[in-house]
Structure 1
Amino acid sequence: MKKIKNLLNVFRKTSYFKMSVIGMIMLSFLSISCINKKDFFFKAMHDTYVNPYFLTVVFLIFICNAIFLAKCFFKNSAYIIRKKNLSNYLKTMSAYNLVIDLYSFLILLGFTAICVFLRVSAKIDIFEIYKYNINYFVYLVFYFVRTFIIIFLFTNMINYIFLLPKKYYNIIYIVICVLAVVLVVYPYNYSVVTLGNFHIFIGYYLIPLEYSSFSLELLFSVGIIMILYSCNIIIDYLFEKFIRGYNV
């Protein structure tokens, strides 16, 4: 717990964090422009976070967090040398990345909640029904957890970029940023009624789709999370086995 507190204290003092907070505040204010003032709070929060443009910016924030943290680690080469092996280094990076991403996500969630609360004139109804006969509050908790896990697992793979030759950095950055934009323009199939409609593109689990049941949406969500987690494990193994030194 002390290590986490120290990490956040150091992170909060960086100019990157200050710029990130300013960006999140601006995003929170801009995102509420599409909200209907007559909506209740939890529906308005849902409509804000499923906006593809909003999600793209959140995605980019997580990417920037991963890049910033990885660069900080590599600047401190003495720290990397002290790690017993590459696997330990990557596990430490992932743990720190998780803490910073969660911290940033909660800050953004707080700013957005305040803006939405003021926008809808403090109208709150925790029993308002979403669909599947469950209320917006319950679905929002599920949606926030799923969104955070999916984006974190995907962007966490950025840590591995810095173990590749530097000539590949710019190419990979461009590919990642293009993917973030694709979240907005991708031609989604919005109707999901059977197991045959499963998709591996993460955008399908960040935007609202018409699932035939909540159990199907939950099953697909667990499926994509397991795929992303497996990708992290496989890449970790490949780098540990084939990358013998650190790219510092």
Structure 2
Amino acid sequence: GGGLNLWGIRGSAGEIGLKASGAEEYFGLIYIGDTSTFKKLVEEDDSGITLEEDAVTGSLFDGISEPDTSIDVLIGAKKFMEGWNSWRVSNMGLLNIGRKEGSEIIQLFGRGVRLRGKGFSLKRSSALDGKHPDHRGLLETLNIFAVRANYMSQFREYLEKEGVEIEGYVELPLFIWANEKFLNKGLVVPRVPEDRNFEAESDILLEPETRVHVHVDMSMKVQAIESGSEGVTVVDVRAGRERPILDESLELVDWEKAYLDLLEYKERKGLI
């Protein structure tokens, strides 16, 4: 359990359904032009992903906008950027885009920033009068993220050229009050006596600190653009969490091979 299964939809060219191992329904869809090359890459990757064929299910893409669809993730090339509309788009991930014409980027952005709105007004609730349900703004927010920082920087440049405001700011006044609870508790503040010259009388020797350990953060860092009722904002997020390696697991590591691999990596990257 917990694995990923890819199912080629035999009756619909270019579609590959995504299922979790043991699941009955598809949760995602890959919609690309060259599925044979993609399947070959998956087989060569040896990542444990299984490939199957589905000769019964019809097109998943055609029903992706239906209320009862189980598809929540759509992965594909720009083949569905043109001539396709869906009110369901709420998150966009840029996997390999941003190097060509900006018009395609704006077109992709338009696929998600538009929404149906109340009474088919094509407007967000913030632009309409009257009371609205709580947290409606979260449903009306388009989130855009990328696996490479340069994709996001190019995407932002294209938006700015089209007159879309980036880095909108909202000023929130924060009132600060003093905590008077400890004023009469006799608390002391450490400081140098007034009749002493600390700089002239004291010497500070810096020695190596053996308790300091180097920490390398290899987690993925993603920059995202959110389009909501307050405009377009840019946020930086960090994926993953720390997972300490158990001592019994470290005993299984071939440290000589690990050391040689590090030397090879150092030479390949031209590190000092």
User: What TM-score, normalized by structure 1, do the two folds share?
Assistant: 0.23
More strand by percentage: 2
Q: Which has the larger radius of gyration?
A: 2
More helix by percentage: 1
Higher RCO, 1 vs 2 (CA within 8 Å, ≥6 residues apart):
1
User: What TM-score, normalized by structure 2, do the two folds share?
Assistant: 0.21
